[in-house]
Structure 1
């Protein structure tokens, strides 16, 4: 099972992306635990996730997040703005799985 976190500031649009990703995983028969979390709470969940994707609005915080959590830096990335804007759950799920499998 893939454990995926989407990180945001407020969560409204990210919550919709989570739903699209869950639907994509279900349709493909992929076991995944996908949830949205606020950036300020990363220390509470990062150790238990396989992939941590920052929303495009937080892309500028990626380097800071990687420096704050160096032992988990390789599983932190950002969601492509186009995929996020189009709510492309299939593509974002695919990117998260690729990130998780790099570990």
Structure 2
């Protein structure tokens, strides 16, 4: 009988302790904020975007980039080199070229 009472008392303490921990507002709040703040997307630099575009036009240099702008999620610009105009758009987060057009001047 004494053994059974001890088991029930321990089980009750375990259940109540678990419920009070799981229902704690501080636990939920701090756990949520930690997850939210640990994820942050970073953008590539304008210099890196220019390097990516210039790598597609052998021989072209920074002087050949005539137009370059940043539009929230992408870098856009033009490279003028040896009678051709290369228009590009680069994803600011991945560095991937999303649009590439070549026109003869």
**TM-score where L is the length of structure 2:** 0.25
- Higher relative contact order (Cα pairs below 8 Å, separated by 6+ residues): 1
In proportion to residue count, which structure has more helix?
Answer: 1
**TM-score where L is the length of structure 1:** 0.25
In proportion to residue count, which structure has more strand?
Answer: 2
